[in-house]
A and B are shown apart, each in its own frame.
Chain A
């Protein structure tokens, strides 16, 4: 990619991105936090969150996206999501067995219901979102370096 591309795309794309990227992020958070009530869940929500950052990166260049979420934070979230999922599973041993739904079930159709399922969704979305964005960054940087030679 040329240096022109590093600075981002045209003004139209940048403006549209500025207006929509927050909505996309919010939609991802909605999808993952309502995963136990409506269709969706951790995986889809995590992918949408990653896509919002990818959107930002395509429009503004890699520095703008990496300034908001550095790659160290990505590695942290990737590992944190995996460990959180495993920790939720292990906490089931407090009531008897692996992956026991030990939290109170709550009322159906409410946001705070279904015990551990929303927490699992959050853990999976952290893992999936951070992992996919990390892969995207790695492939983009690979392409930059390959063309610099």
Chain B
């Protein structure tokens, strides 16, 4: 639990930093740090698929946010410090390669059945849920949270489409344009 609390404190500090910083780009990067902390938190809580989703969405959001803020202000300069920057980059590449080597060494060999959760679903699915369609037992019993999330997404999408194309607001805007002209 200690690492969970450390991650939570890290995320709270990152969020406060993101709110308090005056510089937009640094603020965006602090938000990204919060998102990566959340992704690691999901791994600690044994939810790797949510962690992967969080990581990918976080990176995409970060790229979009950086792209949109980069034109606004570019306060830092990289000239004159090339030696330090190169050294920092090289050391980070070294650390990354070392960690990746360690992590790949821990992976099970190719073809080894690591899907322990899935094999439990397949073996116990009928006895635990009573559904003979194993897909239904997974999406509506074991992973019903995911289905709830997807149903919420669909609900929001329908509301969004209906709000965009509804007649009331558009007529008003047409009338306003007409009156302006």
Chain A residues at the B interface, C-beta cutoff of 8 Å: 35-42, 78, 82, 85-86, 89, 98-99, 101, 105-109, 113-117, 120-121, 124, 127-128, 131-132, 134-135, 138-139, 141-142, 145
Contacts and interface: CB of A to CB of B under 8 A. Distances in A.
Contacts of A115: 129-130, 141
Interface of B: 126, 128-133, 135-137, 139-141, 144-145, 147-148, 151-152, 154-155, 157-158, 161-162, 165-167, 170
A86 B136 contact: no
A119 to B, nearest CB: 9
A105 B145 CA distance: 20
Contacts of A105: 129-130
A41 B130 contact: no
Contact of A117 (B141, B148, B167): B141
Contact of A108 (B132, B147, B152): B132
A138 B161 contact: yes
Contacts of B130: 36, 101, 105-108, 113-115, 117
Contacts of A134: 158, 162
B167 A135 contact: no
14 contacts: A39-B135, A41-B136, A89-B144, A98-B145, A99-B145, A101-B128, A106-B130, A113-B131, A113-B132, A117-B131, A131-B154, A131-B158, A135-B161, A141-B167
Given A38-B133, A121-B136, A127-B154, A108 B126 contact: yes
A44 to B, nearest CB: 11
A36 B133 CA distance: 5
A35 B136 CA distance: 7
B136 A99 contact: no
